[in-house]
Amino acid sequence: MVSTELVDSTIQHQKKYHRIADFSFKNQNGQTVTQKDFDNKIYVADFFFTTCQTICPIMTNHMVEIQKEIMNDNDVMLLSHTVTPEIDTVEQLKRYAVKKGVNDSKWHLVTGDKKEIYQLARKSYLAVKDNAYAGPFDMVHTENFMLIDKKRQIRGFYDGTNNEDIKRLLEDIKNLKKEYD
């Protein structure tokens, strides 16, 4: 169940058939990545930035762990969106990807239009609650990992800094895969 606190107020009552909106970003290799790249895939999404010194390194390390677990699974992918696209250029994302051991075929680190990224975070991934004091472009900084199914629907939220939540996420991926068998 999605916590209504996380949900942007404009979509709080559309939970049942809520789907991730179409998107188009550039990945760490300068390639355009859209929702079509995730057609018929289960994926884990998050929001981060390469210069973050607090929760992002822990989250990235957990994504690396997840990547190891799903490496040979063609049904599962990873998608990390930067929240500081003005800093996280394609070149910066590539350096970060190499440093962290990102496998390009499994895990897209994406950058693009800040407005599009933030709107996606708030209205599609329900990753962050709009702050009454924050403007629409104030930092979207959340520890949430979102599990997205093959219909582009959110199946769960997980604390990307919490080892137990990562175990639960991996278990939920296995259970979700069984639904498609």
CATH number at residue 170: 3.40.30.10
Query: Tokens at residue 126, please?
Result: 């329900």
Who wins on pLDDT, 142 or 22? 22
CA distance 163 to 107: 20
Q: Give the total number of structural domains in the chain.
A: 1
Spatial strand order of the sheet with 24-27 comes to 32-34, 24-27, 107-111, 76-82, 42-48, 144-148, 154-159
Q: Is the pLDDT of residue 19 over 50?
A: yes
CA dihedral 129, 112, 150, 21 (to 10 degrees): 60
Which residue, chain included where needed, has tokens 């990753």? 127
Confidence band for 15, pLDDT divided at 50, 70 and 90: low
pTM (global) more than 0.85: yes
Which residues, 6 or more positions from 79, have their beta carbon under 8 angstroms from its beta carbon? Answer: 33, 38, 43, 44, 45, 46, 107, 108, 110
pLDDT digit string (tens) for 72-98? 999 999 999 999 999 999 999 999 999
Is the pLDDT reported for residue 129 higher than 90? no
5-14, 97-106, 136-145, 161-170: range with lowest mean pLDDT = 5-14
| pLDDT for the residue numbered 85 | 95
pLDDT, tens only, 37-73: 999 999 999 999 999 888 889 999 999 999 999 999 9
Range of the domain at 97: 4-180
Average pLDDT, the chain: 86
Average pLDDT over residues 145-152: 95
% of the chain residues with pLDDT over 90: 71
